[in-house]
Structure 1
Amino acid sequence: MFAVVLSALVGLMHFYLWKRLVKDTTRPGRTRRVLTAAFVVLTVLVVATLVLPRVIGPVSAAWFAWPGYIWFGLVIYLFLTLVVLELPRLALRGWVKRKPLEATAATDTAPTVTEPEPPAPTVNRRLFLARSAAVTAGVASASLVGVGMANALGPPDLLRVPVRLRKLDPAFNGFRVAVVSDIHLGPLSGRAHTERIVRMINETSPDLVAIVGDLVDGTVEELGAAAEPLRDLVSREGTFFVTGNHEYFVEDTTAWLRELERLGVQPLRNENTAIRLGGATFNLAGVNDISGETRDDGPNFDRALSGRDPAQATVLLAHQPIQVEEAAKNGVDLQLSGHTHGGQLWPFHYVVELAQPSLAGLSTVDGTQLYVTRGAGFWGPPVRVGAPPDITVLSLQSED
């Protein structure tokens, strides 16, 4: 059903673009036929890019996923730009239609009948308007996608954010937690992507590393080698992981959890552990992603927070920001999340904000602080517009 709905949307978008970029800008003939055939091929390419990696595997799909996803990014912004241009286009078309009538009205008092104005100039003006809109949309979309690709494929921003926790023991002042999410290893992001992230994290000398979901878009057999550099992460207290929704897109989520343990990354599956420094302690907990509910592996806050000392600070790893509502009910001090990508492609920021309590950064929800990273990777088009990737180092501070 997902594939059918997605294919239908892609087809409708391409039909609209064909109408505006091909049919409206060309006369019947060879050029239109060639461009129409090209649009059919590109439509099939995008559908294949969105559906086939889950069938044939991300590695095998890489050769067509690159052009497919780049074109899909262009499709999104061509569609949005042309929709915005609809009103001025319609206004100018109305002006074009009125021009012959005005010319005829000016000669109504003449004794002879004036011949109707030939249609050619009007057709030419319409072609000019259609081609002008097409060029404008093309230049704007290519520019946005070009800048967005540079953002997505370049190194993530390294953010340093101080966070004060009321119940944190002063012994932990300056304790550094490196937060990374949404790495999205898959057909477009492989081992080199992981190596760069690991190198950037290690250069910050963190005390603890938190990977808050959406690490992979494929199986261990397909992407195990791409994830292997995670074994090189260095921190005093270790590296911890919670599942994101994409971990449940593969059939065997448990296989990835075993692989991460082999790489020295500790999954927190609705459980907690004590982080100690001398005689001081804070609680680190993790809950499964909401998507795990489809496999009886969803979040369980009672189990994840059982046995903790409520007098000590609790830091929770939870992939989706919306899970903070339950975290607040359970007295969690700080939740670390990802999932939103910061919107990834403007103006979809506004859609994400309707579904999640925070798009990115530090906020407070019902007394619980929430930090949302924009993620270090991307999903779908290798494009980020208005939402650069990031790795965040939180510096914990006591309020005392």
Structure 2
Amino acid sequence: MTVSMFGFGRLSAEGKVGIASGVVFFSMLISRTLLSERVNKNTRASLFRVQFLLFINSLLLLGSLYIWKRVVRRLCGARGAPSVPQRCWRLLVLLFLTLVHGSYLCMFFLVDTEPHWLSLLSFSCLGVYVILLFFLFVFGCLIRLRRLLSRSRGGEEDAVASGSVSHIVLAMILTAILAVYGLVNAAQPPRVIEVEIPVEKLPESLNGLRLVLLSDIHLGPTVGRSKLQRIVTMVNELNPDVVVIVGDLTDSQVTRLKRAAEPLGQMKAQLGSYFATGNHDYYTADVEGWFDLLRSMGIQALHNSHAKVFRPEQTQDWICLAGIDDLEARMLRYPGHGMDVEKALSGCSAESPIILLAHQPHAAKQALQQRPDISLVLSGHTHAGQLFPLTILAFLMNPFFCGLYRVSEHTMVYVTPGTGHYGIPMRIASRSEITNIILKRA
């Protein structure tokens, strides 16, 4: 029995790559279920890296084939021997796509105290790839629509063909403009946003409490020590009472990023600094290592647990500051971890306000369904889209996207766009943020 009997041999290149992507994805799910508790941390991390790289690159290959057909075959033509400029253009596009496919290899092999130039270049190319793919697809749909209308009217095929080339050129111009803007915007220091949030049952002694919210710093291939140092300096200038980091602090193991993370030890908060996990923290397969490092720096990890926040002179007045494990901890079968709202809030007084750190907005929604008595939930994860057109997906896929939301008469949710960026050093239609939250009595 041959493969062609199933029709696989007659599939297009895109179809074959799509099937391969699905196979790799399901292998990830199966290995998470069957092997997660039977292998050690290092083996689990290595297995995840291999599967992740195969899955991402198979998806990228679909887009690369699409881009090649349009920006090379359509622009250069498929007939006759290519001219010297055409050969140079093909080599340039091939180099670009090679850097795109190597971006996630940099995430696993070129992580150090400061970003490597190849990591910055590869992830910048990935950002260009995403934007270009979007415009090529949108303009391609418009061309198909125009072709259908042309056929229904009869003629005009040549005009449609020439329009196809002009749309490809326009897509490339728009991509270049947005990419430059995104790179410059992401390189700026985070903006400091001050937000006053009314909290019911807030004691008078804690009225005006200054809580600085950080999230999605993503220490890793394109965010290093110098950027973290700038963030910590800006936080200390705000003279906060409390600092909270709501997940996705890192994208690699402690052994690779220990020196890069050292500025966290300089962070000053009068009433304490706290951390709750995000999904990327679990992707490192080294959450316990990060907990130990943060603890040595005076930052308390809230692992389905809570802390009492109070002023030394008024110990009877306090806020229950709780943190839950990220939603994906259980899906990844990470031993000893998984979102548990009741455990996190066990021991919190009904007379005291509850502030919950929940990395993903979906976790915030689930937590409020279980415990509607929570006063305020602080989340991140969305990056406010970070990069157009991913902004559209982030908006559609999350119950809370960015900013302050009133969920009920007694409860509010704040979602930060994040303090750093993930991988691609670009921000389009969003900006990195340090949120200075002032709690006020309702």
TM class by smaller structure: 0.7 to 0.9
Alignment of 1:258-277 (within 5 A): 258-277=292-311
The farther-off stretch of 90-99 and 68-77 is 90-99
Partner of 1:58: 111
Cα distance in structure 2, aligned partners of 1:132 and 1:98 = 23
**Residue 332 of structure 1 corresponds to which residue in structure 2?**
374
**Pairing partner for 2:403 from 361, 376, 380:** 361
> What's the counterpart of residue 326 of structure 2?
289
TM-score, normalising length: structure 1: 0.87
1:280 to 312, 317, 320: 317
Residue by residue over 1:150-177, the C-alpha shift from the partner in whole angstroms, topping out at 9 and shown as x without a partner, is 2212111111001001111122111110
Alignment counterpart, residue 202 of structure 1, candidates 214, 219, 236: 236
**SS of alignment partner, residue 308 of structure 2:** strand
- The one of 231, 236, 245 aligned to 1:211: 245
8 Å Cα contact 2:103/2:119 also seen in 1: yes
SS at match of 1:177: strand
Contact preservation (8 Å) 1:176, 1:396: yes
Aligned to 1:115: none
Q: 1:98 Cα shift? A: 11
Moved more, 342-351 or 175-184: 342-351
> How far off is 1:90 after superposition?
4.5
Query: Which residue of structure 2 aligns with residue 384 of structure 1?
Result: 427
Q: Distance in 2 between matches of 1:353 and 1:8?
A: 26
Q: Distance in 1 between matches of 2:155 and 2:116?
A: 57
Alpha-carbon spacing, 1:171–1:100, altered in 2? closer, same or farther (3 Å)? closer
1:73 to 127, 130, 133: 127
Aligned equivalent of 2:257, options 201, 223, 226: 223
The answer to whether residue 218 in structure 2 is matched with residue 184 in structure 1 is: yes
The answer (yes or no) to whether the contact 2:221–2:423 under 8 Å persists in 1 is: no
Shift, 1:84, TM fit: 2.2
Distance 2:357 2:376 in 1: 9
Mark the runs of 5 or more structure 1 residues left unpaired by the alignment. 103-121
User: Matched residues in 1 for 2:155 and 2:317: separation?
Assistant: 86
The residue identity in structure 2 corresponding to 1:310 is A
Is 1:184–1:378's contact at 8 Å kept on the other side of the alignment? yes
Q: 1:300 aligns with which of 340, 344, 354?
A: 340
Take 2:141 and 2:222, find their aligned partners in 1: how far apart are those partners?
37
How much does 1:128 deviate?
Answer: 4.7
Structure 2 residue aligned with 1:310: 350
Give me the identity figure in percent.
33
How many residue pairs match? The answer is: 378
> Which residue of 2 is the match for residue 107 of structure 1?
none
Distance in structure 2 (CA, Å) of the matches to 1:161 and 1:61: 32
Answer whether contact 2:274 2:300 (CA < 8 A) is retained: yes
The amino acid that maps onto 2:140 is E
1:144 to 169, 178, 198: 178
Q: Deviations over 1:303-335 (max 9, x none)?
A: 211111111101111111111234322221111
**2:272 matches 1:238:** yes
Structure 2 match to 1:250? 284
Equivalent of 1:44 in 98, 103, 110: 98
CA 1:270–1:134 in 2, change beyond 3 Å: closer, same or farther? same
> TM-score under structure 2 normalisation?
0.79
Runs of 4+ that moved beyond 4 A: 90-102, 125-128
Shift of 1:83: 2.0
Q: Aligned with 2:75: secondary structure?
A: coil
Q: Distance in 2 between matches of 1:161 and 1:374?
A: 14
Give the letter for the 1:19 counterpart. K
- Further displaced range: 318-327 or 261-270: 318-327
Deviation at 1:26, TM superposition (A): 1.7
Shift, 1:97, TM fit: 9.0
Structure 1 residues 45 and 5, CA gap change in structure 2 (3 angstroms): same
Cα drift, residue 85 of structure 1: 1.8
Cα distance change of structure 1 residues 101 and 250 upon mapping to structure 2, 3 Å threshold: closer
The amino acid of 1:315's aligned partner reads I
1:135 aligns with 2:188: no
Higher-Rg structure is 1
Supply the distance in 2 between the matched residues of 1:353 and 1:147 (Cα, whole angstroms).
21
Structure 2, gaps ≥5 residues long: 1-23, 25-51
More moved, 2-11 vs 243-252: 2-11
Per the alignment, residue 3 of structure 1 pairs with 53
Aligned AA (1:255): G
TM-aligned CA distance change 1:88 to 1:360, over 3 Å: closer
Q: Show CA shifts across 1:362-389 (max 9, x none).
A: 1133553111110011112111111111
Q: CA RMSD in A?
A: 2.5
Match of 2:75 among 25, 37, 41: 25
Q: 1:323 aligns with which of 337, 352, 363?
A: 363
Contact 1:20 1:130 (C-alpha < 8 Å) held by counterparts: no
* Deviation, structure 1 residue 349: 2.5
